[in-house]
Structure formats: structure tokens, C-alpha cells
Amino acid sequence: MEQKKPTVGFIGTGVMGGPMAGHLLRAGYPLLVYNRTAAKTEPLVGQGAKRADSPAAIAAECDVVITMVGFPDDVEHLYLGDNGLVERAKPGALLIDMTTSSPELAVRIHEAAGRRGIKVLDAPVSGGDIGARNASLSIMVGGDPDAFEEALPILRTMGKTIARMGGPGAGQHTKMSNQIAIASCLLGVCEAIAYAEKAGLDPAQVIATIEHGAAGSWTLSNLGRRILDGNFAPGFYIKHFIKDMRIALRSAKALGLTTPGLELVLRMFEELAERGESESGTQALYKWLVDYIA
């Protein structure tokens, strides 16, 4: 007889969280959802999820709680604030933070949860809105081995590449490596498109040709084509990428590491945000480059 699935709570049902929670529903998990903007939970409620009135209500009822929110301050308040998840979760519950957040904060949450007999994983993801919709995310996990094994069936509904990278905070450190790599890669894609256009080439044909060689990357194939289509809608918001890069820069400095590429791209994105592009997708970096060239 099939074992009863645990009740899962999902907090943060936006561009990424909404599709991720949908995969849990389709996999047969009883699902409670919460979002500060309640309207963003309506598609999931229409598919059979139950809307909760607060994160505390989710913590009281669910065996597993997943969070996918915006910023480290949100994570800290959600987990460690008054009536937070650590305080309100059931003994033995499993809390999985899939927000890209601070490695140091992940360690503090783990320590606080451990004092209450609650399991915690930091499990940020990569793959953008496309990966969230297609359940093909890469999921980088930090935490204890037993908690990871318990979480695996749930994580497999949302991602394809799932790896425990080490203890608490290791998932977030891995995501910082990911974001550092993306920053310079995205700048390279923008420069390659600008070069192809200046040389009188068809940039779409250029992408179709070079994506199968050494220059190939998810960023080139997906965000490069969005640039060519003039599609700067967010699969991943500039404001969130700025947050990620700032965390990565602070973490790198704490490790005694200099990251000049990251610093350069961060300055570009900060300038874009000052020009009103914070709600655009990260591919809008191309706008900065075009203005610079002009």
C-alpha cells in the first residue's frame, strides 16, 4: 500500500514558487499555500490547494514547509521572527528554504530549528521561470543527510539535478557560485549579440550556430533569444539578481576572495535599477550595453 504523502505548505507563490507548488499538487501532495498578495495563490487554489491565512497557520498544520520569498530580510522574519516558522512548526517538521539567501543566515536558522527538534534545509534553485515550469530546476541543498533524504521525493517533483552540497549554508554557497558564473556569462552574451549586430550578421543565426559549440549555455540559448525578441519581461527580476550579487560579493570578501567580474556586472545592474528597470528581467542588461555603445 502506498505510504500517505505528508502535508506540504508552500509560502511564496510568485513567478518561481507558483509553478513549483503546482508540481507538488500534481504529484498528489496535500498542499496549503500562502502569499502576501493573496491573488497569486488563486491558480493553485483552483487546482485543489488550500489557502492559508498566515505562515503561522501553515507551520501549525504542515509536515513540510517550503519557502520561496524575495530577500534575506524576508527569510529571517519568516523563520526567526515572532510567530516565525521555527517557533510555530510542529516538532519533527521539515522546513525547506528555496530562496536565494545568505549562507550565514541559513546556519543561524538551522541552529535555532535544531533546538526545537525541527529539521531545516537551505535549497536554492537555478533554472529560472522555465526550469520552474518544466520541473527541471537544479536544486543545491545544504543541511543534514537525514533531512535531505526525507526531502528528496518532494524535491524531485520540482527539479532534475538535486545534490546535497554539504552542511547548513552549503546550498547557499553553491548558489553564490552559480550567480557569480551567470553574471559574467550574461554580460558576455549581451556583448556577443551587440558585436554580431555591429558586424552586420543575423544575431539569431549567430546564436543558433554558436550555442552548439564551446560558447553554448542556458543563458545564451534562452536569454539571448529573449533579447533578440525584445522581451525583457522577468523570468528572474533584476532587483532579485542585485540582491544575489550583493550576497555573493559579501560572502566572497568574507572568504578573502576578489571577484572583479561580479563587481563590474553588479554596478551595471545597479545603474539599470536606478533607471527604473528593477522589475525587468536580467536580460535587460543588454539595454545598459546598448546605451553604453551609443
Spatial contact of 285 and 186, defined as CB atoms under 8 Å apart = yes
Q: How many residues does the chain have?
A: 294
**Sign of the CA dihedral 137, 276, 250, 95?**
negative
Given 5, 90, 160, 175, the catalytic residue: 175
Integer-rounded Cα Rg, in Å, for the chain is 20
For this structure, is 175 an active site residue?
yes
Instruction: List the catalytic residues.
Output: 175
